[in-house]
Amino acid sequence: MVSRLVLVLGDQLTESLSALREADRDRDIVVMAEVMGEAAYVPHHPKKIAFLFAAMRKFAARLESQGWSVRYTRLDDPDNTQTIPGELIRRASETGAHEVLATEPGEFRLIAALEECPLPVHIFPDDRFVCSHAEFEAWAVGRKELRMEWFYRDMRRKTGLLMEGDKPAGGKWNYDHDNRKPAPGQITFDGPLHFQLDAVVIEVLDLVEARFAGNFGTLRPFWFATDRDGARAALDHFIIHALPRFGDFQDAMLDGNRFLYHAVISMYLNAGLLGWQEVCEAAEQAWKADKAPLNAVEGFIRQIIGWREYMRGVYFHEGPDYTRRNALGHDRALPEFYWTAQTDMRCVGRAVEQTRDEAYAHHIQRLMVTGNFALLAGIDPHQVHEWYLAVYADAYEWVEAPNVIGMSQFADGGVVGSKPYVSGGNYIHKMSDYCKHCRYKIGEKSGDKACPFNYLYWAFLHRHRDRFGKNPRMAQMYRTWMNLPTERRQATLDSAEAFLSKLDRGARV
């Protein structure tokens, strides 16, 4: 019988992958490839590229040890066509295969490339998620608002996680109100598990260092796990040592601590080295064994079967044009300090520095610091989207785009959120210690010394009052704005205009 090719992508490193299940180990040939078409369509963080290449090489070796025939293309292979379709065509020519089995990619860009491939490509659903496309579409039918909370409750019911019969454990679906504490004086967690370099990782680091030296991001030191065993160890480390306090402080930020009680396993989950079920069940078991409180476990599980699944559902529901949406008409260029961290705004600078060094920042740093600033300043949402896609090790368009275009930038006009996630400096001051070290003064509302988030917030509301003025969730803030003395409102708008003019000139802000 003529063999078929079985495509395994870099974020599909799961032995139970649908394409592998459909294949015949005795005759079909697995194709994996490191290609510039995937490594360079945005300037990915070097740590992300190194993580994926090393994990791919180890996964290929694991498949071979299980009896699979694998054709693996390294980036520096002189015969590398540097695209996924090109490598499929090359391997088909070598082997005589006439068709390809593939699991659906997580980006419309790559789905289109496979659909346009000259070879017949049979694309199977990616069933590594709780919710299929069809289930999400059925859930969305007839709803005026696609709100995550209602979706999340259905996912709880479907999975049975944290359920007591048909009721939520503890009597509440959501314990988010318990998870908003500012950081404590002392963090008792040393951070995510770090892994020693082995020969495979060292070889990949040298390759990435040579080929992607100009990309934003620090490659070394490199500490990520690059195989399933390491990813599972990282999960277990979090469950034992950090989950008990994760809930209370998941929204907190500290100038001198980059990880607090966060798991930092999303890159493993999104690449396929971990599965949602084992991650959630490990957390649930910690609660059942009285080793972690319900608010922490519920908050953690909600991020996975709630928010993560909802993001994927929205991405495929909304379609390929989603990343080009710009409901607020924002068109300012992304400031250079998103690449250099050269800004006097301590919170933004520290978030960018952390992103540069770790290819990681937690959700509040992304949403309420770098994302909040971009929205307040009117930055082009597509440029913001491409920055987030480039700089984080866990970023793939299916999960990143709805978080940025939808939740962070409100560029989808309200599909993801019923109001924009904007705030002045007081929120950052409450949830962090950044303001203590900042040149700007959190207590000042206008003028050169004032925190830019303060006057940019009110200027944003003023600029978009026709759109948001009647939003019931924002009505109180508009009343507050209109009740301010006229001279104070004008000083606020003048400060915002001066700041944005300085930003546009490329001056340091």
Specify the domain boundaries for CATH 3.40.50.620 within the chain: 5-124
pLDDT tens per residue across span 443-465? 999 999 999 999 999 999 999 99
pLDDT of residue 176: 86
pLDDT tens per residue across span 304-337? 999 999 999 999 999 999 999 999 999 999 999 9
pLDDT above 80 for 137: yes
Mean pLDDT of 242-271: 96
Residue 467: CB atoms within 10 Å: 15
Mean pLDDT of 422-428: 96
pLDDT of residue 48: 98
pLDDT of residue 304: 97
pLDDT of residue 379: 98
**Phi, psi (5° rounding) for residue 257?**
-140, 115
Report the C-alpha gap between 439 and 196 in whole angstroms.
39
pLDDT above 80 for 2: no
Residue 327: CB atoms within 10 Å: 17
Mean pLDDT of 282-299: 97
Report the C-alpha gap between 381 and 42 in whole angstroms.
15
Question: Which architecture, in CATH terms, is 5-124?
Answer: 3-Layer(aba) Sandwich (3.40)
Share of the chain above pLDDT 90, in %: 96
CATH numeric code, 133-191+242-318: 1.25.40.80
Q: Which residue is listed with tokens 């068709």?
A: 99
Report the C-alpha gap between 226 and 274 in whole angstroms.
11
pLDDT tens per residue across span 18-33? 999 999 999 999 999 9
Mean pLDDT of 331-353: 98
Specify the domain boundaries for CATH 1.25.40.80 within the chain: 133-191+242-318
pLDDT tens per residue across span 163-194? 999 999 999 999 988 888 998 888 999 999 99
Would you say the pTM of this structure is higher than 0.85? yes
Look at residue 172 and give its three-state secondary structure. Answer: coil
Q: Does domain 337-504 have CATH number 3.90.25.10?
A: no
Residue 410 CB contacts under 8 Å (≥ 6 apart), including other chains: 327, 328, 375, 417, 419, 420, 421
Report the C-alpha gap between 4 and 70 in whole angstroms.
12
pLDDT tens per residue across span 36-64? 999 999 999 999 999 999 999 999 999 99
- Closest Cα to residue 414, out of 465, 471, 364, 336? 471
pLDDT of residue 293: 96
Specify the domain boundaries for CATH 1.10.579.10 within the chain: 337-504
Model confidence band, residue 1 (pLDDT cutoffs 50, 70, 90): low
Mean pLDDT of the chain: 96
Look at residue 502 and give its three-state secondary structure. Answer: helix
On whether the CB atoms of residues 11 and 107 are closer than 8 A, the answer is no
